[in-house]
Structure 1
Amino acid sequence: MPVDPAFARFDMARLYDAFNHHGEDGDFYENFTKTPCRVLDIGCGTGSVTLRLADCGHKVTGVDPADGMLQVARMKDRESKVEWVQAPAAEFTLPYRFDLAIMTGHVFQVFLDDAETLAALHNTHRHMAPGGRLLLESRNPLAKTWEDWTRGKTREQRVIHGIGPVDVHYQIKDVEGEHVTFDAVFTIGATGETLVSESRLRFAKAETIQSLLSAAGFGEVELLGWWDGAPYTETSLEIIAIARA
């Protein structure tokens, strides 16, 4: 799993956490299973969904390659409910098997080619209990949502404790085939300082995602198009895959 150099930094990870909250998607993951089980959160970031699942009584392990992200996650985990592991998705090794694995926040899109994706999926599959399920999400390339990633359409301000007002907006740098490169631009109101994080994402088609899951050893795959459980269609904004190990 590639590490965005910016989010290896605690200060940038803290800004990311302030602006990235999980609403309908977080509810979807939280409500997916009510029976306490062992959950693996791959690319857990600052742990927003990870901690919600732990609060529901699941035994949760969060894996992420970025030290800054995990610093923020551990700070929020005041009761030490979660096991936090710093490692790329293709490289972590854990001594137990999971009933449920998740890739939230469109983390699936950071794997930029088939080789990277398969390495992560193979490693996930080998950590799954028989019959366990993997949930992942990816933006539907047919919807071309990146066309709305402009300063005018994405600008947002929040007041962050200890920092004050912070503005963020997103701007596209390049679109080439399946790949979109963009900047997240944070501006600190008190100082005028600007912090920029560049990211590159892969927008894989639904059939590509299904093929990669099959190649990694997963069986039946169900595709949804939104967090309310609607089936995937070509007009869906999301590709939400539920794959059985």
Structure 2
Amino acid sequence: MDRRLAAIYDAENRWGRDDDYFLAAVGETPAARVLDLGCGTGRLTLALAAVGHTVTGVDPHRAALDAARAKPGADRIAWIEGTSRVLPDAAYDVAVLVSHVAQEIQAEDDWTRTLADLRRALVPGGRLVFDSRDPAARRWERWNPTDSRRRLALPDGTVVAAWTELTEVRDGLVSFVHHYVLPDGDELRGQGTLRFRTEAELRAALAGAGFTVERIHGGWAGEPVGESSDGELVVVARAGT
């Protein structure tokens, strides 16, 4: 991740209803040992530590972790550069993957391994909480230069013009490019591909990894799947004992 993109990411991804949901869900286990896998620049990671949890943030992108480490309160958190492979055994009461990090794991073999690593890293009965966009909502249809156009204000006063360009939809994978134009005309691009998994696919993968699904919501207010404009699959699962 380009360091400039890390700053833009923070401007575009401010605290929202999804963060409120995850903070409350983790809070169901007071003073928990929490893993934030794919923690990015640490928005939720820092908030979890601020309310008294013992938090570890893991991410494969050094620039994102550098941005996280520079924020107030970062010294309360153990920051680790890496993937689920680096996780210790039975070390966490709760694990979270937020901001659709689960969809960044494209290959099914990698997804299976990640869930197995998370099962190993959680104590028996520990909880896994994550979000994944519901493919039935077809949110990618809004990822075009007209519907996605937005302006982002950075902390230094810079205003960035942004939009998203959909490039391919195939076999459950959706590819796109985020365009960010700085005031001097310089353009940064962030490319990505997300895996859209159905509720049935998520349930099957979790069961195969030794998790029991406790609930899946369709939105941040706890709506049933398919009954919220949020278009989410918000999963709470428990590691087998």
TM-score w.r.t. the length of structure 2 is 0.93
Query: Any unmatched runs of 5+ in structure 2?
Result: none
Are 2:215 and 1:222 aligned?
Answer: yes
Unaligned runs of 5+ residues in structure 1 are 1-6
- 4+ residue stretches of structure 1 with deviation over 4 A? none
Please, which of 184, 196, 207 is the counterpart of residue 200 of structure 2? 207
Instruction: Tell me the alpha carbon deviations over residues 73-97 of structure 1, each in whole angstroms, 9 at most, x when there is no partner.
Output: 11114451111100023x1133651
1:185 Cα offset (Å): 0.6
Whole-Å Cα distance in 2 between the matches of residues 231 and 36 of structure 1? 29
Indicate the residue corresponding to 2:70 in structure 1: 75
Distance 1:235 1:15 in 2: 28
- Tell me, what secondary structure is at the counterpart of 1:219? strand
**What's the % identity of the aligned pairs?**
33
Distance in 1 between the 2:190 and 2:47 partners? 27
1:173 is aligned to 167
| 2:231 matches 1:232 | no
Residue 86 (structure 1) aligned with residue 81 (structure 2): yes
Match for residue 107 of structure 1?
101
Change (3 A) 1:182 1:36: same
The normalised TM-score by structure 1 is 0.91
1:235 deviates by: 6.6
Query: Is 2:176–2:193's contact at 8 Å kept on the other side of the alignment?
Result: yes
**1:48 matched to 2:65:** no
Aligned match for 1:150, one of 125, 144, 152: 144
Amino acid at match of 2:145: R
Equivalent residue letter for 2:19: G
Deviation at 1:219, TM superposition (A): 2.0
Which amino acid counterpart does residue 33 of structure 2 have in structure 1? R
- Provide, for residues 112-168 of structure 1, a one-character-per-residue CA deviation record: whole Å limited to 9, x for no partner: 122010111111110101111000110000110000111221222122134611111
1:65 and 2:65 aligned: no
Match of residue 188 from structure 2:
195
**RMSD of aligned residue pairs (Cα, Å):** 1.6
Classify the secondary structure of the residue corresponding to 2:46: helix
Aligned match of 1:39: 34
